[in-house]
Structure 1
Amino acid sequence: MKIKTVSIVGCGWFGLPLAKALVKQGYIVSGSKRSMEGAAALTHDGISGFGLDLDKQQFNGNVVGESELGFDESTLAMLRQRLRTDAIIINIPPAIVKSPGAYQQRLSFLKRLMAQHEYMRIIFVSTTGVYPSSVHPVTESDAAPHSASSEVLLAAEKLFSELPNACIIRFAGLVGPERHPGRFLAGKQNLPGRESPVNLVHLDDCIGAVSCLLSAGSLSPVYNICARQHPGRESFYSAAAKDISLTAPAFSDESQVGKCIDGTKISTELGFQYRYNDPLAMLCEC
């Protein structure tokens, strides 16, 4: 069966451009924003917007109970219309440092809202932060709890990976409009790891990868999304800062074991083609 309807939980920096792209591809798209005002604005782009505040546990301004018995009939109907689609894309920023514990609570609540609906595809957006440092190229099987934040990320993935038809997509460092990498390290001093590899992916390739997962047949449980080329940190971030006339970062001689994310699996298995394999080529598109 072909996927026709898609709901996107979290129409922010990535979710909104994704939603717009899917509308252009012919999908019927629902998308969430935390505020009702933000949700209403989505309609201008052909997206059926709905308000979903996972912290306050509110759906379109109404408090959601522990079970469907807590809904009135109109709220139930809207929930089924907007959230219970053929496919769902879960795109909730972790913000682990700012609010420890909140990420897991938000996702657990969302999972309860999704309960007893059989999706043709569940795509959970995660991050390559689940991988520890390594001298070898890092593939999808190398995730390990190497820090407090990675433990949270892996626990979040597990919430959804155990559901039918679920796929985890792990993005490397995100760049694109309003997220120019030249600002990441500009002006910083005495940074270690001048030769450590850079792992980045452009917004357009993230959108393309999710589109690929929606249209493909059988999937692997996890895919990395990362540009094929990995320049050293010093050379890349110096060039990136110069690109927008900022002060280049300064690196020390202290070595640092980084990691080199292998994002080729989605290409090998599904035929996905990256638009940007060289992070330097991304600069003019940020």
Structure 2
Amino acid sequence: MQNVSILGCGWLGKSLAVSLLNDGYTVKGSTTSEEKLETLEFNNIEPYIIDISSFEEFDSFLNSDILIIAITSKDIDGFENLISQIENSSIQKVIFISSTSVYGRLNKVMTEEDEVLKTPLTEIENLFRENTFFETTIIRFAGLFGDTRHPSNWFKNGRKIPQPKGFVNMIHKEDCIHIIHEIIDQNCWNITFNACSNHHPTRREFYTFAKVSNGLAIPEFEENEVVKWKIISSKKVQEVLGYTFINDNLLSI
């Protein structure tokens, strides 16, 4: 399988597309912005304008072996229409990029076996998981950072940071891309993975480090909240794929 379509060539999707091109894949990429078409072309990504809420036909874009879905839309109707088109396309495998936000803060370590919240995102996950026309692997990424997305830029304008005694669940873009490569290379389908660094400093420790290391003032925190937290376990992705995180110490990056 050498043909990949990436629905959503944004912060993560564009970098993923470039890395797949470097590995010899032919890559189609979508954006919702006319202005970004030139950037995709410049990077040798075959460009498409696609908005799943428009209910247009995406035949040419879906003429691939693998579809990677990297958009933030929660439009259930749009996804149902997209899935019906995938069923009638050459797509055999799908990677759906989800989020660890599907887990509630239950003051415990959360695995893929734990119950998830009832949200549009979990409903969309199930649409893909239950479809038998193609095989889907779902990746629930933790908080994304890397490159231009630096945690020191979050909680600006004197905004106090909540839950300082809670724990951070983060993953670097480089690890996201490598995990997706491993899923494709190892032909690992019909499975759900959490993907998160194994390092979980407190929110106070992490955001203080992020701000100060970037030359900013020590942030303020909401001090009187009832403590609610979760720690995302990535044990499954490490065991099944034999994956070792590249950026596994959040205070040394």
- Establish whether TM, by shorter chain, passes 0.5: yes
Change (3 A) 1:133 1:241: same
Aligned match of 2:127 in 138, 141, 159? 159
Q: Distance in 2 between matches of 1:15 and 1:112?
A: 23
* Among candidates 86, 101, 119, match of residue 129 of structure 1: 101
- 1:133 aligns to what SS in structure 2? coil
Q: Give the residue type in structure 1 aligned to 2:48.
A: F
Corresponding residue for residue 177 of structure 2? 207
Query: Rg bigger for which structure?
Result: 1
In 2: Cα distance, 1:219 partner to 1:264 partner: 17
Q: Residue 24 of structure 2 aligns with which residue?
A: 26
- For 1:220 and 1:113, locate their aligned partners in 2 and report how far apart those are by CA, in whole Å: 19
Quote the Cα distance in structure 2 between the aligned partners of 1:181 and 1:262. 21
Q: Which amino acid aligns with 1:207?
A: I
TM norm structure 1: 0.81
Do 1:160 and 1:166's aligned partners in 2 also have CA atoms closer than 8 Å? yes
The structural deviation recorded for 1:139 is: 0.5
Please point out which of 103, 117, 123 is paired with 2:89. 117
The residue type equivalent to 1:139 in the other structure is T
Correspondent of 2:142 among 172, 175, 180 = 172
Deviates more, 1:135-144 or 1:85-94: 135-144
Structure 2 letter corresponding to 1:104? I
Which deviates more from structure 2 when the two are superposed, residues 256-265 or residues 217-226? Answer: 217-226
1:238 and 2:217 correspond = no
Q: What secondary structure sits across from 1:273 in the alignment?
A: coil
For 1:129 and 1:109, the matched residues in 2 are separated by 24
Q: Which amino acid aligns with 2:143?
A: G
Following superposition, the deviation at residue 278 of structure 1 comes to 1.3
Extract unaligned runs of 5+ from structure 1.
59-63, 65-78, 95-101
Richer in helix (by share): 1
Unaligned residue ranges in structure 2 (runs of 5+): none
Q: What is residue 280 of structure 1 aligned with on the other side? A: 251
Distance 2:163 2:226 in 1: 5
Residue matched to 1:92: 71
2:230 is the alignment partner of 1:259: yes
Going from structure 1 to structure 2, the CA distance change for 1:267 and 1:151 (only over 3 Å counts) comes to same
* TM superposition score normalised by structure 2: 0.91
Q: Cα–Cα, structure 1 residues 219 and 54, in superposed 2: closer, same or farther, change >3 Å? A: closer
Q: Contact 2:66/2:94 (CA < 8 Å) preserved in 1? A: yes
C-alpha distance in 2, partners of 1:280/1:262? Answer: 19
RMSD: 1.9
The one of 96, 106, 116 aligned to 1:144: 116
